Amino acid sequence: MLSLAPLHEDFGARVTGIDLTKPLSSQQVEALHDAIDTYSVLHFPDQAMTDEAQLALTRSLGEPEPEHVHFGKTGQVAYFGTIGNVVDAETKRDGDHPHSVSQRGNNMWHSDSSFRLVPSYVSILHAYEVPGEGGETEFVSQRAAYARLDPAEQAEIDGLHVLHDYVFSRTKVAPVDPNHAASLPPIEQRLVRRNPANGLKNYYVGSHARSIIGWSGVDSRRLIDRLNEAAARPEDVYSHRFTEGDTLFWDNRCVLHRGAGYDANRWRRYMRQTRVAGHGPTLDEPSVVA
Ligand code: OGA
Ligand code: MN
């Protein structure tokens, strides 16, 4: 069965003893959900992944989430996003290509699709080509960060709601296509969420978090910036240096991640991403206020 070795003192595990490219038994699926609930970030080395196997894996964990950029621009559902600069075996995009510029939005701490009514449960990322230098993906735990707050700070934030807005965050790095922007109105989310399996609480912010419902802009930014910074002190970070064949899962309900950046003029980077949708809007989750 699964064998787990910790990656960081707060969260994360390297997982061996499972071939993610083969059909999974219900016991294996349950063990993966348990590991996600407990460890938040899972690294599976040496997986002989294909797109077909990745989509089957994604479906075995839940409902695949339509990739929002393609859906927003065209109205067509596709389940894969490509992370990196590779077009095909001969061609890559340089660092100043608009696609590379907009991908650098991923270099801000974020939770995937926190700006959607039903945000992502888990992202699945498989590495096919990795830069010789740079190109790490970094992770921090908003569960560990919530636990570090003192009880008065926890009580202050437990009942708050936050507006998450893709256009707010991503126009900092690149213009957002008008159709795409129109498909993603700002969404109200709970600031504090509770894992339904183990009861552990976490806050839920990141770069898409724009403002606190009912608060001024100034007060909103002070709190959100403070929470983002408190989650991502250098000692809190697990930085994943990819090897080809790595598959990563992360729990978007409670971790933030970001790209560390790389020289796209020099290196090829090719990773494929799918996501498992969450169970519903965060406002439908039970309140965490005692
Ligand atoms: C992602 C992501 C950043 C990176 O895969 O969702 O934000 O560059 N990746 O690794
Ligand atoms: Mn991301």
Cβ of residue 257 lying under 6 Å from some atom of ligand 1? yes
The domain defined by 3-278 folds into Double-stranded beta-helix (3.60.130)
The alpha carbon of 71 and the centre of ligand 2 are apart by a number of angstroms equal to 16
Query: What secondary structure does DSSP assign to 137-183, as a single string?
Result: EEEEEHHHHHHHS-HHHHHHHTT-EEEE-HHHHHTTTS---HHHHHT
Strand order in the sheet with 209-212: 187-190, 161-164, 209-212
Q: If you measure from the C-alpha of residue 113 to the centroid of ligand 2, how many angstroms do you get, rounded to a whole number?
A: 8
* Per-residue pLDDT, 89: 95
What pLDDT, in 10s, does the model give residues 52-67?
Answer: 999 999 999 999 999 9
What average pLDDT score do residues 193-199 get? Answer: 98
User: One-letter amino acid identity for 265?
Assistant: N
pLDDT at 129: 98
Ligand nearest to the CA of 123: 1
Q: Please give the pLDDT value at position 130.
A: 98
Assess whether the C-beta atom of 58 lies below 6 angstroms from ligand 1.
no
Ligand 1 neighbourhood includes 112 CB (under 6 angstroms): yes
Predicted TM-score (pTM) above 0.85: yes
- Count other Cβ atoms within 10 Å, centred on residue 150: 8
Q: Whose CA is nearest to atom 7 of ligand 1?
A: 106
Going from the Cα of 290 to the center of ligand 2, the distance in angstroms, rounded, reads 32
Q: How confident is the model at residue 70 (pLDDT cuts 50, 70, 90)?
A: very high
Name the one residue in this structure whose structure tokens are 């696609």: 99
What secondary structure does DSSP assign to 5-56, as a single string?
Answer: EESSSSS-EEEES--TTSPPPHHHHHHHHHHHHHHSEEEE-S----HHHHHH
Ligand sitting nearest the alpha carbon of 84 = 1
Does position 290 have pLDDT exceeding 90, yes or no?
Answer: no
Q: What pLDDT does 203 receive?
A: 98
Task: Return the best residue to mutate from 102, 128, 137 for the ligand 1 pocket (most ligand atoms within 8 A of CB).
Answer: 137
pLDDT of 270? 98
CA 106 to centroid of ligand 2, rounded, Å: 6
Amino acid 98: pLDDT: 95
Given a cut of 90, is residue 218 above it in pLDDT? Answer: yes
Query: Ligand 1, atom 6: nearest CA belongs to which residue?
Result: 112
d(CA 233, CA 211): 22
Q: What is the mean pLDDT of residues 150-177?
A: 97
Range 124-152 average pLDDT: 98
- Give the model confidence (pLDDT) of 83-106 as tens digits: 999 999 999 999 999 999 999 999
Cα 111 to middle of ligand 1, angstroms: 10
Say if residues 250 and 114 touch (Cβ distance below 8 Å). Answer: no
- What does the pLDDT look like over 6-45, one tens digit per residue? 999 999 999 999 999 999 999 999 999 999 999 999 999 9
CA 199, 203, 207, 212: dihedral to nearest 10 degrees?
130
Task: Please give the average per-residue pLDDT across 163-175, as a whole number.
Answer: 97
pLDDT grade for 1, boundaries at 50, 70 and 90: confident
For the chain, the residue count is 290
